[in-house]
């Protein structure tokens, strides 16, 4: 008798799953990792659920009643993404693919922008520029690097956390030159580096 009750208890749960549906997708990000993007599920203006992306940026929303839904994608430092009119059908999981890309929210990021000049004041392209973080104990840790563009410019994008950085430029025939930058929030920090010949 107990076994029959257990079987009958399982049947409605399976039938209920076939009466609902869902959708899945993959979020890509312009910078950083796609883990931890909050996916808020809406029907009209009402929130009906939320999930968080995994380390690959993937998410799966299940047990939704058939109908039209929207999602809002949020992660600090990135722009807010939205998708509207996602149709959910009973017994099906719709794939939204991997074209969901969140770009940097330029209002919540720190930029170190700069230019490299020679002794005559001309901009210098193709100069190696490296970014180091100066730790509180005085140790210096390299975190990024790039080469100046055709007009001698470079840019580093950073989280707006309070920190101290060192930018070092070195041309193939020049001594390295450095400048320290203190970042204390979302803003553009501009520097100019003048390299001199060896």
- pLDDT tens digits for range 11-38: 344 344 689 999 999 999 887 789 999 9
Tens digits of per-residue pLDDT, 119-146?
A: 888 999 999 999 999 999 989 999 999 9
Task: Please provide the distance, in angstroms rounded to a whole number, between the alpha carbons at the two ends of the chain.
Answer: 92
The answer to whether domain 22-102 and domain 109-194 are alike in fold is yes
| Arch. (CATH architecture) of 22-102 | Sandwich (2.60)
- Band (pLDDT 50/70/90 cuts) for residue 7 is very low
What's the rounded Cα separation, in Å, for the pair 133 and 181?
10
Residue 66 DSSP one-character state: S
Q: Report yes or no: 169 and 128 within 8 Å, Cβ to Cβ.
A: yes
Fold of 109-194: Immunoglobulin-like (2.60.40)
Q: How many residues does the chain have?
A: 198
Distance from C-alpha of 187 to C-alpha of 195, rounded to nearest angstrom: 26
Specify the pLDDT at position 2.
Answer: 40
Q: Considering only CA atoms, which of 56, 67, 57 is closest in space to residue 27?
A: 57
pLDDT value of residue 107: 72
Both structure tokens of 67: 């109908």
Domain residue spans in the chain? 22-102, 109-194
Tokens, residue 113: 């922008």
What pTM did the predictor assign? 0.52
Contact yes or no for 130/166 (Cβ under 8 A): no
Task: Give the pLDDT confidence of 143-170 residue by residue, as tens digits.
Answer: 999 999 999 999 998 888 899 999 999 9
Q: How far apart are the C-alpha atoms of 127 and 122, rounded to whole Å? A: 13
53-90 in b/e form (b: 16+ CB < 10 A) is beeebebebeebeeeebebbbbbebbbebebeebebee
How would residue 102 be classed by pLDDT, with cut points 50, 70 and 90? Answer: confident
Mean pLDDT across 49-61: 95
């Amino acid at each position: 008798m107990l076994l029959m009750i257990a079987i009958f208890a399982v049947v409605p749960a399976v039938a209920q799953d076939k009466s609902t549906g869902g959708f899945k997708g993959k979020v890509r990000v312009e910078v950083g990792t796609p883990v931890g993007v909050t996916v808020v599920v809406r029907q009209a203006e009402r929130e009906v659920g939320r999930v968080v992306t995994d380390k690959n940026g993937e998410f799966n929303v299940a047990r939704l009643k058939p109908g039209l839904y929207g999602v809002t994608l949020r992660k600090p430092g990135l722009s807010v993404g939205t998708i509207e009119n996602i149709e959910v059908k009973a017994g099906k999981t719709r794939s939204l693919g991997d074209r969901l890309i969140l770009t940097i929210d330029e209002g919540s990021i720190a930029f170190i922008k700069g230019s490299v000049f020679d002794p005559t004041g001309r901009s210098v392209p193709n100069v190696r520029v490296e970014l180091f973080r100066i730790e509180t104990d005085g140790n210096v840790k390299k975190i990024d690097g790039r080469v100046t563009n055709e007009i001698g410019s470079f840019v580093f994008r950073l989280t707006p956390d309070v920190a101290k950085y060192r930018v070092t430029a070195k041309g193939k025939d020049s001594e390295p030159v450095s400048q320290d930058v203190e970042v204390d929030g979302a803003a553009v920090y501009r520097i100019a580096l003048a390299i001199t010949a060896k």
